A and B are shown apart, each in its own frame.
Chain A
Amino acid sequence: MYRYDEFDHAFVRERVAEFRDQVARRLSGEMTEDQFKPLRLMNGVYLQLHAYMLRIAIPYGTLSSKQLRRLAHIGRVYDKGSGHFTTRQNLQFNWIKLADVPQILEELAEVEMHAIQTSGNCIRNVTADHFAGAAADEVADPRVYAEILRQWSSLHPEFSFLPRKFKLAVTAAPHDRAAVQVHDIGLHMKVDDKGERGFAVWVGGGQGRTPMVAKKVRDFLPEADLLSYCEAILRIYNLEGRRDNKYKARIKILVHETGEAEITRAIEAEFAELQGKALTVPAPEIERIARYFALPDLETLRARSEVYETAKRDPAFALFARRNVHAHKVPGYGIVTISLKPTGAPPGDATSEQMEAIADIAERYSSDELRVSHEQNLVLPHVKLDDIPVVFAQLQKIGLGDANAGFITDIIACPGLDFCALANARSIPVAQRLSERFEDIARQAEIGDLKIKISGCINACGHHHVGHIGILGVDRKGEEFYQITLGGSGDETCSIGEIVGPGFSSDGIVDAVETVVDTYLKLRISADEPFLAAYRRVGQAPFKEALYAR
């Protein structure tokens, strides 16, 4: 597995020492808040409603057991005994004292973690498919390219003060689990007819106030040109992106205002200048980085496991196998999703005890590896099918054995007004109430694939624009209201959800979602037609009618 190199090591240590000094100067009054704020943000420290919040980078969502144990320890000692996994594959601690931050960063550095580039107008933590390195359907491990991008973008002198933050995502399977089309740059790897690897390059996607699906500016970019091409895009953006209006500063606005053809031309022209020069990534370098991400030593097993098949006689395990286990590239192994969405719990939260138990499970059964998904779940990437029944039993013991991955209760929700200083309305309690309303697992199974995503304000950290059912919290004269969007999707068929009509009160929102679900169940052609397909077939009208024609 990747371990950051000596350069990173020395650099992170220096940064911790520097920040320790800055915090001391702030606490002693030598530094004002105005001077200190940009410095703390550069180190992932925000001031939220109740306390400081520390956002820790988990590059491309990859974690070891040791790292998860350290996060559990930090949660216990410096927070209130838990942590919150975010939609950016990061982890946030919500109850941090400023005076403790340098020590926390020091303890993180010991396990090669940090909080750099989790804030500010720079290139943020690169995200990747959470099944990366294990998925049967991937053509390569996308983390290799995410890492090449990380090394290039980390503290890139030219791109430390971009017009706005900049997010990249990489996926390498036909089914896009990393939502690349709603990123500033989305890279979707594929193999051409000659067997060469390259990327479809998407630019200008994003959510927030002005949601947009990215435009495909290249159908096939050879992997060696990855950095030259991204540099070309960033240069155009750095030069032409708007700095006069924060709400118009993301690259999506530039792409939109310039037009797809013109922006593609400009990128290609810039790329022509850069191609074949210093930024070309040589094949041996790609191989070198790929070795960091090599598969662990897995056994040669038969594809079919009798233990696994026999365990499916238990309906609860059969459902877990169907929903939470995905095909692995190595026969006899599976990828296990640990749902951090037990009934009534805040999505993405894990207690320190749960993190420790999961770390133990990963160490014993998943070659010491874990992933964090942007859907706020954890993943055990390399579990022997033979071992999955035991893993399931252990997860049940810690209250995380829910077989609801991809079901209606596998909800994404941002921190919302319970924690976030920017929020207009609460998100988590809505997720909790929905999770309770749809608690019956048989009902969830009948409904099938359905993604609900909830944001507490237009910044859309809860990805509501790409929820099959999206919920946006708004403030209407001091009251929380919730707007429903339908038909969004973050996968390879990416679409932005459409607002269905006037919002619902906090009391009404759960019933409204249930009405949408019941309407779907009535109109679907068969149980094989998922919500999104049905919505795309019939459009908004029947849902609108069910919701408003009373």
Chain B
Amino acid sequence: MAKKKDFHPVAATANDLRSGAVVFREPDGRWGTEARRAEIAETPEDAERLLARAKADHDSCIVVEPVLIEMAEGRPVALRERIRDTGPTAGIGRTA
């Protein structure tokens, strides 16, 4: 886990086991499809607890491959995670 001084707020994300959909862990423990509703861990300790809970959900066959991702202003920071959150940027072509 990152040291306190270079820690950034994080959320837990994974894919739903059954559908594969991108999901984020919400404060009530449910997994939803919108990053902006995700529970944000503001400290390394909270982050560790969040990840532990996400892993427990993995073990209970609710989600797969849970990880923590950095968040800022209700959005994932990394482009990859933003694309996971909002969907592919490449739509089907205009002629189709």
Q: Using CB atoms and an 8 Å cutoff, list the residues of chain A in contact with chain B.
A: 26-29, 32-33, 47-52, 82, 96-99, 342-346, 349, 351, 354, 399, 417-419, 423, 426, 428-429, 432, 478, 480
Contact = CB atoms under 8 A, between A and B. Distances in A.
Contacts of A417: 79-80, 83
Contact of A99 (B18, B93, B95): B18
25 contacts: A26-B17, A26-B61, A27-B61, A33-B65, A49-B83, A49-B84, A50-B22, A51-B15, A98-B19, A99-B18, A343-B93, A344-B93, A344-B95, A345-B92, A345-B96, A346-B90, A349-B92, A351-B92, A399-B93, A417-B79, A417-B80, A417-B83, A418-B83, A419-B88, A426-B89
A342 B93 contact: yes
Given A99-B19, A417-B79, A480-B79, A429 B61 contact: no
Q: B79, B93, B95 — which one has the most chain A CB atoms within 10 A of its CB?
A: B93
Contacts of A351: 92, 96
Contacts of A49: 22, 80, 83-84
A417 B80 CA distance: 7
A27 B17 contact: yes
Nearest to B90: A428
Nearest to A345: B93
B3 interface: no
A-B pairs with lowest CB-CB distance, top 9:
A345-B93, A428-B90, A51-B20, A418-B88, A399-B95, A52-B20, A29-B61, A342-B95, A97-B19
Nearest to B65: A47
Given A342-B93, A354-B96, A432-B93, A50 B87 contact: yes
Contact of B20 (A29, A98, A349, A418): A98
Interface in B45-96: 58-61, 64-65, 77-80, 83-84, 87-96
Nearest to B84: A49
B78 A47 contact: no
Contacts of A349: 92-93, 96
B78 A478 contact: yes
B95 A345 contact: yes
The bracket for how many chain B residues form the interface is 20 to 34
Nearest to B87: A50
Interface of B: 15, 17-22, 58-61, 64-65, 77-80, 83-84, 87-96
A49 to B, nearest CB: 5
A457 B83 CA distance: 16
Contacts of A96: 20
B72 to A, nearest CB: 12
A432 B95 CA distance: 12
Contacts of B78: 478
A220 B17 CA distance: 51
B96 A51 contact: no
B84 to A, nearest CB: 5
Contacts of B22: 49-50
Nearest to B60: A29
Contacts of B83: 49, 417-418, 426
Contacts of B92: 82, 345-346, 349, 351
A418 B90 contact: yes
Nearest to B21: A51
Contacts of B17: 26-27, 98
A525 to B, nearest CB: 36
Contact of B96 (A99, A399, A423, A432): A399
